[in-house]
Amino acid sequence: MNKFDLKKKVAVVTGGAQGFGLDIAKNFLKSGAKVIIWDNDERELEKVIKKIKNKNLSKQIVDITDPESIKMTVKKITKNMKIDILINNAGVTGSTTELWKYDYAEWKRIIDINLHGTFNCCKAIVPHMIKNNYGRIVNIASVSGKDGNAKASAYSSSKAGVIALTKSLGKELANKNIAVNAVTPAGAKTRILNQMSKEHVKRMLSKVPRARFLKLNELSSMVCWLSSHENSFSTAAVFDISGGRSTY
């Protein structure tokens, strides 16, 4: 794996208690960063901190749908350190069913976590990045936000929203040393797959020319570069990691 220098950088990784977020956090630690993982799953957060035992890793219980709690948490962090990197990774797929059968409350829940959650974290942290004239933001979208998956209209719409948010915010910050990019992974074996039916997962995999799941380290490697100072030009962009599924 390539190594990027993240020494003296502080990273917030949302949904960092497991899956992609945890692998990104581990990769950041190896690259020398201080990492704060945010998650609303208290039990998983406890387990991770006990297991990893690294003085550069800390946790905060944060629900990304709660702007007030995010604001307070950011205030606490920025009293004695900067936030250089934000990874908007926390997300859910929700139920897999046709749009006309979709429960409205469930639709709103998915948009609220995946899209509004990303907005809330960016809104709270970007002013600090502007003050420091440095920042790297990576939003974990999905190939479904580009292609639109059948029986996943809420999830696909939320991720399409994350892609558009990335492009808008990236342009708003382009005259500063702040990069905002999104990645669009195909399916990987994490807990999120349990939220989908077996048929849905099979259908997703059948669309991938590489004919396998994405590995966690393949994603975290791309995210690590995007989060480093070496990514000094790319912004407002979407980086594909779909094994050939999405060719645009």
Cβ 157 to ligand NAD shortest distance, Å: 12
Contact 19, 192 (CB under 8 A): yes
**How many residues bind to ligand NAD according to rule CB under 6 A?**
30
Smallest gap from residue 4 Cβ to ligand NAD (A): 21
Quick one: which of 27, 31, 40, 149 contacts ligand NAD (CB under 6 A)? 40
Asked if residue 202 binds ligand NAD (CB under 6 A), the reply is no
- Which residue number is nearest to ligand NAD in terms of Cβ? 19
- In the list 73, 89, 96, 221, the residue contacting ligand NAD (rule: CB under 6 A) is 89
Q: Is residue 17 involved in binding ligand NAD (CB under 6 A)?
A: yes
- In SS3 terms, 35-103 reads as EEEEECCHHHHHHHHHHHCCCCEEEEECCCCCHHHHHHHHHHHCCCCCCCEEEECCCCCCCCCCHHHCC
Distance separating alpha carbons of residues 150 and 98, to the nearest angstrom: 7
C-alpha atoms less than 13 angstroms from C-alpha of 138 in its C-beta half-sphere = 29
Query: Which one, 65 or 217, has the nearer CB to ligand NAD?
Result: 65
Find the binder of ligand NAD among 13, 26, 39, 154 (CB under 6 A): 39
Torsion of CA 243, 163, 86, 91, to 10 degrees: -70
User: Do 115 and 161 meet the contact criterion of CB atoms below 8 Å apart?
Assistant: yes
Residue ranges that bind ligand NAD, judged by CB under 6 A: 14-15, 17-21, 39-41, 44, 62-65, 89-92, 113, 117, 140, 142, 185, 187-188, 190-193
